[in-house]
Chains A and B, each alone.
Chain A
């Protein structure tokens, strides 16, 4: 059993030596450049993420505001009174803007 195991080990190591002799590893500089390019791309993606979040939030806020304006225009009326709607919308917008800013600050601190 041990003989067979030694045989297996020798066979595999012999095969590894043949691979090492016939396969040349690519230069490290090429791999370094490839990694640099990827790092840069990831950094850009990280930097752009908060902006995308803000864009999405802005879109949501705009849609809410547009809906509210339509309601106020008088086409549809059986909805909450003016005061409540304004209060809720303002609060929600404020919350979203603060959350977006907070996410952006955190992301920019992480990338430093």
Chain B
């Protein structure tokens, strides 16, 4: 049996924000992120069955979103961050660290992994499930991504 409308509303309310953040941070474009968000939930509705656990749904949604991002990069449309930052006011922390510049500096895969690990708080197994990578690969790639991000942060601190 397919997901009911009420069930979908609940899933959407719980997950749309995090998925949109993930897509916006990965693509750097609001219009693309919006479109991919809708496509992500559309695919969930077409494929998923009713009665899935909340954590399974969340993982499944991130998996779909990751696949969409990968397809976009493969098709050559993945020129990220081609739109100026419109995120509005900055906080004290962001004033010293240009997160957007850091994300732009990283590869798409690194952006995804850092986002899932630090913003979504996923462990290696969950990231592996969400991205389709092996656990060991996640560990290695995340280690590298962390290293590159740290270098960027250190450079920022020195400049300050």
A residues engaging B (CB < 8 A)? 1, 4-5, 7-16, 18-23, 25-26, 28, 30-32, 34-36, 38-39, 42
Contact = CB atoms under 8 A, between A and B. Distances in A.
B30 A38 contact: no
A15 B37 CA distance: 18
A25 B17 contact: yes
A15 B25 contact: yes
B75 interface: no
> DSSP majority for the A interface?
helix
A46 to B, nearest CB: 12
Given A11-B93, A11-B97, A28-B41, 16 more contacts: A4-B154, A5-B150, A11-B94, A11-B102, A13-B119, A15-B25, A15-B100, A16-B21, A19-B87, A25-B20, A28-B8, A28-B9, A28-B16, A34-B42, A39-B2, A39-B46
Contacts of B114: 8, 12
A35 B46 contact: yes
